[in-house]
Amino acid sequence: MIPFSPPRMDKKIADAVVEALYSGWITTGPRTKQFEKMLTAYGGQKVTFCVSSGSAGLELMLRWFGIGKGDEVIVPAYTYCATANVVVHCGATVVFVDVGKDFDIAVDAIEKAITPHTKVIIPVDIAGFPCDYDAIHALVQRVDIREQFRPATREQELMGRILVLSDAAHSIGGWYNGKRTGSLTDLTVYSFHAVKNLTTAEGGAVCINLPLPFDNDAIYKELYIKSLHGQTKDALAKTQIGNWRYDIVEPGYKYNMTDIQAAMGMAELERYDSDMLVRRKAIFDRYAEAFFSYSWAQLPLYETSTRVSSYHVFLLRINGITEEQRDEIIRGIFIREVAVNVHFVPLPMMTYYKDAGYRMPDYPVSYDNYSREITLPVYYDLTDEMVDEVVRAVVGAVEEVVR
């Protein structure tokens, strides 16, 4: 059986973890701080703050911006539940909008959804393909849109417009107009979950890239406190002579990354461009070449003159089929001992959001993308021979259903 997405684990990563274990420092410490600096240098953002998960990073930044009851946050209907769940946790209203044929949030749909209650837009780089950030930034900077904005906190007053908080859980290493994800929006959040290109088992990072008059270094220090129960010093700081005393200045959260996690991330980031992304791109290209000649295959967009994917997952769509036929095809692929998936079931179809009143017919492109989509395996240890086996399984299963 070809698995869907096992994490890359080898001696380099194992040695890094063992070294961290024997260092005597396994929670947030020197390796986490070094990993943050490496991520800043890699992405080009001003500052990076590591957290326990991508979800924690999204929620932390919504709370930092003062999001709460009465506020609206625009989210694509086509995304993983974490993007919307964090808005609910903050007591705000999720405003779903449709996506485009490239799976990314549709800018014209964002524009129609903006109201005086809109405080944040969360674009999602589905499958690692960056959204159209120039268009999103042009929208939030437009005079008539800025005039609608109603700030309720100091941070919102300083921003003076809708905040763009990018969910880049899939897209570390992606490019947009010559800049990497991480430096494309006000705030960007990575995920380092086990199935991601770069994993720390669990974990994430907030890329802070706020405009003046914000002090990004000062915000880093704020987040440091918020992520440790509102405590003014972490364990590493308290090891300094006479530095044991600390204060609790707010009821914060437990969102910190550990040095064990950071050790894994550092080992992978050192070779990410030269090794991991090279292999993943080769897999994407092999799939694209293999399926190009089949009229029923709709290939995902993953490289243009302005946007380059991080090659996270390969979203193949089958032309002219129903959702039920797609599920039948997936069963046929599994029978051929290949694991595939679907990214994602749109959130208005999920019980919680459906019960909250969201209706899937309001998001027709999201439904069309989902109903015909099959996610193919992409991971470092997937060999060319395994890719070819995946292709044979998909072709065989499709041609049994689509006659």
pLDDT tens readout for residues 310-365:
999 999 999 999 999 999 999 999 999 999 999 999 999 999 999 999 999 999 99
Q: How do 118-121 and 163-167 pair as beta strands?
A: parallel
Check the CA dihedral 273-310-169-216 and report its sign.
Answer: positive
CA 108, CA 106: separation in Å to the nearest integer? Answer: 6
Per-residue pLDDT band for 245 (boundaries 50, 70, 90) equals: confident
Class of domain 11-269: alpha beta
Q: Which residue has the higher pLDDT, 275 or 239?
A: 275
Residue 240 pLDDT > 90: no
Q: What letter does residue 222 receive in the DSSP assignment?
A: H
Q: What is the pLDDT of residue 238?
A: 66
CB atoms < 10 A from the CB of 1, how many?
A: 8
Q: What is the pLDDT of residue 332?
A: 98
Phi and psi of 318, rounded to 5°?
A: -105, 120
**Tokens 């906190």 -> residue:** 153
For 153-208, the pLDDT digits (tens) are: 999 999 999 999 999 999 999 999 999 999 999 999 999 999 999 999 999 999 99
Residue 27 pLDDT > 70: yes
Provide the residue ranges of all domains of the chain, joining segments of one domain with +: 11-269, 272-401
Residue 385 pLDDT > 90: yes
For residue 201, give every residue at least 6 positions away whose Cβ sits within 8 Å of its Cβ, in sequence order, or none: 7, 192, 193, 194, 261, 264
For 122-168, the pLDDT digits (tens) are: 999 999 999 999 999 999 999 999 999 999 999 999 999 999 999 99
Per-residue pLDDT band for 378 (boundaries 50, 70, 90) equals: very high
Which H/E stretch holds residue 188?
A: strand 187-191
User: Torsion-angle region of residue 117: left (phi > 0), alpha (psi -120 to 50) or beta?
Assistant: alpha
Residue 231 pLDDT > 80: yes
Residue type, 80: Y
Q: What is the pLDDT of residue 337?
A: 98
Are the C-beta atoms of residues 137 and 160 closer than 8 Å to each other? Answer: no
Are the C-beta atoms of residues 401 and 332 closer than 8 Å to each other? Answer: yes
Residue 235 pLDDT > 90: no
- The half-sphere exposure of 130 on its side-chain side, counting CA atoms within 13 A, is 29
Read off the pLDDT of each residue in 2-14 and give the average, rounded to a whole number.
Answer: 96
Residue 237 pLDDT > 90: no
CB atoms < 10 A from the CB of 174, how many?
A: 27
Q: What is the pLDDT of residue 233?
A: 75
CB atoms < 10 A from the CB of 57, how many?
A: 32
**Percent of the chain scored above 90 by pLDDT?**
95
Per-residue pLDDT band for 244 (boundaries 50, 70, 90) equals: confident
**Percent of the chain scored above 70 by pLDDT?**
100
Q: What is the pLDDT of residue 308?
A: 98
Instruction: Please confirm whether the linkage preceding 364 is cis (ω < 30° from 0).
Output: no
For 274-291, the pLDDT digits (tens) are: 999 999 999 999 999 999
Q: How do 307-308 and 175-176 pair as beta strands?
A: antiparallel
Mean pLDDT of the chain: 97
Q: What letter does residue 176 receive in the DSSP assignment?
A: E
Q: What letter does residue 244 receive in the DSSP assignment?
A: -
Q: What is the pLDDT of residue 104?
A: 98
272-401 CATH: 3.90.1150.10
Are the C-beta atoms of residues 255 and 63 closer than 8 Å to each other? Answer: no
CA 185, CA 107: separation in Å to the nearest integer? Answer: 15
Helix-helix angle 323-335:384-401, to 10 degrees:
130
Distances (CA, A) of 355 to 82, 303, 358, 359, 401: 17, 38, 7, 9, 33
Hey, what are 97's tokens?
A: 């909008």
Read off the pLDDT of each residue in 94-115 and give the average, rounded to a whole number.
Answer: 98
